Structure 1
Amino acid sequence: MPRGPDVTSELEIKRSRFITWLRRVDDEAAARALLAEARDAYPDARHHCSAWVIAVPDAQPLWHSSDDGEPSGTAGRPMLDVLVGSGLTDVAVVVVRYFGGTLLGTGGLVRAYSDAVASALALAPRVRLVPSALWTVLLPHAEAGRVESELRARGVVVHDVAYVAEGVRLTVADNDREGLGALVASLTRGAAVLEPAGRTVSEVPEFLGPGDDEG
């Protein structure tokens, strides 16, 4: 079953309806799925314009835009420009237009499609990607619950809890090696030590406060 957009908004400009679907996506297939769902949901609309920005490891992001029958450069590209200007990646947007009978002109279309995407972005929750080092610590079963609780209470991100024959292995994310090591030593009376376990990327929610620039 189609799951619909993560965020939706609607504008009416000179009797034309602009319905915007916005979704976080992991790859181009997911972005195209959003477009297909919008076409299915609004089969009688004249235009289903789209744009997306998808991160590619060790390469430039994948950019896409489509005017879907609107005059060239008046829909998809302005939509893409708003996405790129927001600084977000891994996001797809579709703007469905029902023509209201009044021509908007080239400039009017550019403004309408740009405003449609901006209105949806203003409603979208955002996260900041924070690279972090991963560490493991092996604890006795009797101590693991207490130590895990203390770590969480101090803001340490616990990524995994694994029960093994030797005890409980916690995997935590933190970039302060010395501070985390000292904390673990204090909580275990020096009985446990950190072992490096690679790196990860954590998501930290971002909140736009009064006066913040939404891009």
Structure 2
Amino acid sequence: MNKKVYLTISNNVSHEIVIKKSRFICSLSRIHSEDDAKQFIKQVSNANRKANHNCFAYMVGDDDHIQRESDNGEPSGTAGVPILESLQLTHVHDVCAVVTRYFGGIKLGAGGLIRAYSNVTSEALHEAGLVQRVKQAILQIKVPYNLHDQLLYFLKEQQIEIANEEYGVQVTTNIFVNDDDITSVIDNLNNQFHGQLHITEVGHRFNEIPYKE
């Protein structure tokens, strides 16, 4: 996995499995801060007050500089760590996982608990789906009216997304371009239109696209 690739979950989900009459429910949420994580953990715990355990793990930041986990009363190392490791193995960022357990009366043992908390988290992540966040530049193109249709055709052929257009003395067309492609796109535009376009970088955005390994 390229460390520069930023992945997170596509949707917030809740996924349940039953093992020897114990219910394990993994709730996943995208978060932006540790406060978001704490709020989500509190929300899930309040909704499951009668549960035996609400164990959790979360990672915050592009570089996962904040990582926390809790067994919430389960034997040490059997819940929080397996949940966290499932997040780490999927390479997701800014995600909080809370696994609620309703005890079914049959003890699973340390190994059984580790597998249960790991599996329900992994299955929830699969159900949620992944998206890759891609940094894009916003390029502003000022184009004479007589070249506007030609520009639109070129952008369509190159599958370049148009952000918006404004009409004045010239047409101003804003486009989204992946950061890695800025130089080649500008060079191609200048070559295609023989330097008749005025191109300026005016901002950035993050675009999210479905991700499959």
Query: Is TM-score (shorter-chain normalized) higher than 0.5?
Result: yes
Please tell me the residue identity of whatever aligns with 1:161: N
Query: Bigger relative contact order, structure 1 or 2, given CA contacts below 8 A and separation 6+?
Result: 2
Which residue in 2 is equivalent to 1:163? 166
Deviation at 1:119, TM superposition (A): 1.1
Which residue in 2 is equivalent to 1:61? 65
Alignment partners' CA distance in 2, 1:21 and 1:60: 20
Spell out, residue by residue over 1:106-129, the C-alpha distance to the aligned partner (whole angstroms, 9 max, x if none).
222111111111111121221223
**Aligned partners of 1:128 and 1:205 also within 8 Å:** yes
Structure 2 unmatched runs, 5+: 1-10
RMSD across aligned positions (CA):
2.8
- The 1:148–1:29 alpha-carbon spacing in structure 2 relative to 1, beyond 3 Å, is farther
Please tell me the residue identity of whatever aligns with 1:137: I
Spell out, residue by residue over 1:14-66, the C-alpha distance to the aligned partner (whole angstroms, 9 max, x if none).
1100011112222222222322221232221111111111115xx65210111
Please tell me the residue identity of whatever aligns with 1:31: A
Instruction: State the TM-score, normalized to the length of structure 2.
Output: 0.79
Deviation at 1:185, TM superposition (A): 4.0
Structure 1 unmatched runs, 5+: 209-215
Kindly report which structure 2 residues correspond to 1:72-151, keeping only aligned pairs within 5 A, or say none.
72-140=76-144, 147-148=151-152, 150-151=154-155
Alignment partners' CA distance in 2, 1:143 and 1:42: 62
3-state SS in 1 of match to 2:127: coil
- How many residues are aligned here? 201
Please tell me the residue identity of whatever aligns with 2:200: E
Which residue in 2 is equivalent to 1:33? 39
Identical aligned residues as a percent:
30
Deviation at 1:189, TM superposition (A): 6.1
